[in-house]
Chain A
Amino acid sequence: MLSKEQNETLTQVGPGKPMGELLRRYWYPIAASSEVERIGTIKKVKILGEELVLYRDKSNNLGLVADKCAHRGVSLEYGIPDKCGLRCQYHGWLYNGEGQCIEQPNEPENSTFKARIKISGYKVEELGGLVFAYMGPAPAPELPRWDLFVQKNVIRTIGYAIIPCNWMQIMENSLDPTHLEWLHGHYFQHIFEQQGRPQDEWKITKHHLKIGFDEFEWGIIKRRVLEGQTEENEDWAIGHPIVFPNMLRVGDSGAHSFQIRVPMDDTHTFHFWYTCFVPKEGVVVPEDYPISLYQCPIKDEDGKFVTDYIDGQDMMAWITQGPIADRTTERLGTSDKGIIMYRQLLKKELKNIENGEDPKCIIRDPKKNEYIELPQEEDKFSEGGLLSGVAKDWNTRYAPNLEEIIELCKGGKVSSSV
């Protein structure tokens, strides 16, 4: 349980708010590269409380600027990508990638007015099929090259959803290992039962004997010992990380994935499920195989949460806590220690930036950023490739080419065109 003020500090992400300022120190994925591949494309996004437009100009460069034209406030979502920047559709003012106005076609030719007009403009970079933005103070740190973004010989998919709740309750779910045996275990069995599906092959109900959390260079490593296991098992000995501040890494021997939480505003979070399918030993998958993009449904046509897949269950748990979880009424027990640890880590990093230091996970040395390997247990729950085995019960079931990916990873051939 927290006071109202401390809950607000953790959950407010807008500019000028303490957590908003900490979060601005990091790069965030804001689109899949495939969404803005074509010259002239514009995508509207909302990140850390700011409405922005991402566009590809006629020189094939991406730009990210404020959605509102400084002239009379129309939305640049309907602007005209120019040779170098984005032009407002209303009266033709042109903004470069930094948001500086560089042309006002109907003002006197030698007017200096445009020099005093600037809208927000932020750095963007592409990596691993995603477009990332940096909205913090200059100089921008390196865009971290986490292993899954740069790994060779894997097949990638990108799922996404706009989650109508604050980013913190999504992150806290990642520091809560025991929900697995319930939300994705017993509850899943209950859903199977309701749907008349066989339940006996479901592996996730094992009871947690022990959970542990260790801070490491990039965040927190989460560990568990399940019934029938010891600390020798990979679930404990290796574990898997929460990469500070907003990413979860999960996986097994057949598929590894990142869950990336991008705070849009205090009550919305842009969520990515970024998966790398790892082929069977000896299999080489086609290098130019496309990265498919798919939306993960939150609710069905009756307005009920879709709870017959793992990520749908998680979304139900995140969202039903309310737009911003009220931590003044929560009742935490000892199994919630990971959540408390994560809250404290956020506050500690907040203090670091106040002291003028870089917070955790800011990389400035390009040599350190060639390939950042993260720990990840592969023998999950002593069941080997558990997650890839249940790819159809994960968000990846919405990937239009899932069947083909599974075939390719076993050494099969490309059969369709995605």
Chain B
Amino acid sequence: MKKYEIKLKYCPNCGESLLKSKSLLNEYWIADDTAYFCWCSECSWRGEIVEVKRVTAPELV
């Protein structure tokens, strides 16, 4: 398998590196989207970030 790099790097709240070993940067997939579950050990911010590949409005379909 080719070496895969997690794209996200910094805490959106405090700007610390989310790659610090005591933080959690967990990549996963929601259907077509790549999502990142983040918890920052510096400021305790917890949240999810989803990379947008295509803007859709599913409620209109």
A residues engaging B (CB < 8 A)?
1-3, 5-6, 8-9, 18, 328-329, 331-334, 336-337, 340, 343-344, 347-348, 350-351
Contacts and interface: CB of A to CB of B under 8 A. Distances in A.
Interface string B7-30: 000000000000101111111111
B41 A347 contact: yes
A372 B22 CA distance: 31
B28 A329 contact: no
A8 B26 contact: no
Contact of B21 (A18, A333, A344): A18
Interface in B10-58: 19, 21-30, 37, 39, 41, 44, 46
Contact of A351 (B4, B27, B41): B41
Chain B contact-residue range equals: 10 to 19
A334 B30 contact: yes
A18 B4 CA distance: 26
26 contacts: A1-B4, A1-B6, A1-B27, A2-B24, A2-B25, A3-B6, A6-B19, A6-B21, A6-B25, A9-B21, A18-B21, A334-B29, A334-B30, A337-B28, A340-B24, A340-B28, A343-B24, A344-B26, A344-B37, A344-B46, A347-B23, A347-B41, A348-B39, A348-B44, A350-B22, A351-B44
Q: Main SS of the interface on chain A?
A: helix
Contacts of B22: 9, 18, 347, 350-351
Given A1-B6, A328-B4, A329-B1, A347 B24 contact: yes
Interface of B: 1, 4, 6, 19, 21-30, 37, 39, 41, 44, 46
Contact of A336 (B24, B28, B41): B28
A53 B22 CA distance: 33
